[in-house]
């Protein structure tokens, strides 16, 4: 694993000039993922904030070959690119070792793109799929996705007089991907550069399909103070809302255990999407959220111990 100094010296493949909001997590995720890959890499990106902000013609932030085709199909698109590479390599028309990375938002991953993701994972294409997960459809104006946490107010799960934001807990995409029995699945945050870089390195050195779920703050949709973007992801880890772990060939490994598990209110209170939950009368919802976080955390600890 490279030191931060070494990383800083690497040639950037995701460069400045993009038009993501200041304080957006997606740019940090893209930059760190690309820095971690010290090989020729082809990138695919699903429609969403990252893609529309980084490729406004005639400009591009990608100093590496890049393709966007549509919203729900980045895994299938990169399946095609990777297969072309295999075919041309077999014929001796190409000799480089090339890495393939697909970026999808949570909408493009958990919802509309789930089928194409599942298909590509099952077929075992050699690619790294990175879900930059800002927990809603941000590009179209903060609509709920199945990754949106319970209680969050979005424009299609608004907190109202009778409904207090999103009713459901988020979909457990990690278990879904682990159930595909792919060789590498991990969850990380951009707020710990070494964790994400390490995981990307492992993923691209895995022979097969790998999946990394990255929490990616959205200063407009959560919303939070832009300068808190990285801090907020570390808080997600310390409240056990977003544990850092990996599953290598089916074996669970916890990468970080908070010394002191913080209450979920710490994470809720700095984001306006949860503001209504902290008002009198909604205590039971916060309690339910805390309970579900505890349950998922215990479940993860058990899996890490027994696998």
Partner 1 sequence: MPSAKVAKTGNEIFAEAMRQINPDVVAAYPITPATEIVQIFSQFVADGLVKTEYIAVESEHSAMSACIGASAAGARTMTGTSAQGLALMWEMLYIAAGLRLPIIMAVVNRALSAPINIHCDHSDTMGARDSGWIQIYSENVQEAYDNMIQAVRIAEHPEVKLPVMVTTDGFILSHCLEVVEILDDADVQRFVGEPPKRHTLLDFENPITIGALDLQDYYFEHRRQVAEAMNNCGRIIEQIASEYANLTGRKYEFFERYRLDDAEYAIVLIGSTAGTAKEVVDRLRVGGKKVGLLKIRVFRPFDYLKIREILKNIRVIGVMDRADGLNSFCGPLYTEICTALYESDNRPVLANFIYGLGGREVKESDIEQVFDELFKIDREGKKVNTKYIGVRE
Ligand X SMILES: Cc1ncc(C[n+]2csc(CCOP(=O)(O)OP(=O)(O)O)c2C)c(N)n1
Q: How far is the CB of 136 from Mg ion (least distance, A)?
A: 5
Distance CA 54, CA 22 (A): 13
Q: How far is the CB of 221 from Mg ion (least distance, A)?
A: 8
221 binds, among partner 1, Mg ion, ligand SF4, none (CB under 5 to 8 A by kind): ligand SF4
Residues 51-70 that bind partner 1 (CB under 8 A): 51-52, 55-58, 60, 62-70
Distance CA 302, CA 307 (A): 8
Tell me if 49 sits within 8 A of 24, measured CB to CB.
yes
CA–centroid distance for 96 within its chain: 28
Complex with Mg ion: residue 137 or 297, whichever CB lies closer: 137
Distance CA 171, CA 183 (A): 21
Distance CA 209, CA 122 (A): 8
Given 107, 165, 191, 221, the residue binding ligand SF4 (CB under 6 A): 221
Residues 113-132 that bind partner 1 (CB under 8 A): 115-116, 118-120, 122-123
Give the number of other CB atoms < 10 A from CB of residue 3.
9
Residues 63-102 that bind partner 1 (CB under 8 A): 63-70, 72-73, 76-88, 90-91, 94, 96, 98
Torsion (CA) 129, 133, 135, 137 in degrees, nearest 10: -70
Q: How far is the CB of 124 from partner 1 (least distance, A)?
A: 11
Distance CA 150, CA 145 (A): 11
Site string for ligand SF4, 52-71 (x = CB under 6 A): -x------------------
245: helix, strand or coil: strand
The verdict on 131 binding ligand SF4 (CB under 6 A) reads no
User: Using omega within 30 degrees of 0 as the cis cutoff, is the peptide bond preceding 58 cis?
Assistant: yes
Given 49, 177, 200, 289, the residue binding ligand X (CB under 6 A): 49
Q: List residues binding ligand SF4 (CB under 6 A).
A: 20-21, 24, 26, 49, 53, 134, 138, 218-221
């Amino acid at each position: 694993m490279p030191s931060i100094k070494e990383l800083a010296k690497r040639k950037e493949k995701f460069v400045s000039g993009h038009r993501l909001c200041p304080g957006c997590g997606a740019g940090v995720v893209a930059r760190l993922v690309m820095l971690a890959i010290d090989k020729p890499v082809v990138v695919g990106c699903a429609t969403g904030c990252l893609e529309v902000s980084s490729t406004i013609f005639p400009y591009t932030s990608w100093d590496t070959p890049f393709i966007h085709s549509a919203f729900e199909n980045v895994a299938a698109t990169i399946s095609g690119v990777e297969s072309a590479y295999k075919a041309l390599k077999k014929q001796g028309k190409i000799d480089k070792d090339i890495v393939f990375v697909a970026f999808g938002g949570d909408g493009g991953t958990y919802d509309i793109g789930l089928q194409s993701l599942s298909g590509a994972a099952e077929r075992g294409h050699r690619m790294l799929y990175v879900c930059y997960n800002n927990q809603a459809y941000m590009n179209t104006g903060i609509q709920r996705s199945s990754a949106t946490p319970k209680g969050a107010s979005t424009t299609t799960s608004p907190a109202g007089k009778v409904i207090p934001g999103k009713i459901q807990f988020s979909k457990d995409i990690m278990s879904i991907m682990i159930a595909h029995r792919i060789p590498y699945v991990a969850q990380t945050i951009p707020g710990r550069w070494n964790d994400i870089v390490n995981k990307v390195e492992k993923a691209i050195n895995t022979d097969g399909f790998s999946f990394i779920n990255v929490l990616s703050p959205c200063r407009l949709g959560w919303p939070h103070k832009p300068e808190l973007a990285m801090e907020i992801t570390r808080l997600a880890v310390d409240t056990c809302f977003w544990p850092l772990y990996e599953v290598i060939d089916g074996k669970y490994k916890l990468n970080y255990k908070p010394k002191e598990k913080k209450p979920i209110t710490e994470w809720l209170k700095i984001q306006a999407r949860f503001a209504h939950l902290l008002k009198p009368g909604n205590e039971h919802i916060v309690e339910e959220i805390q309970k579900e976080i505890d349950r998922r955390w215990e479940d993860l600890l058990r899996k890490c111990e027994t696998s």
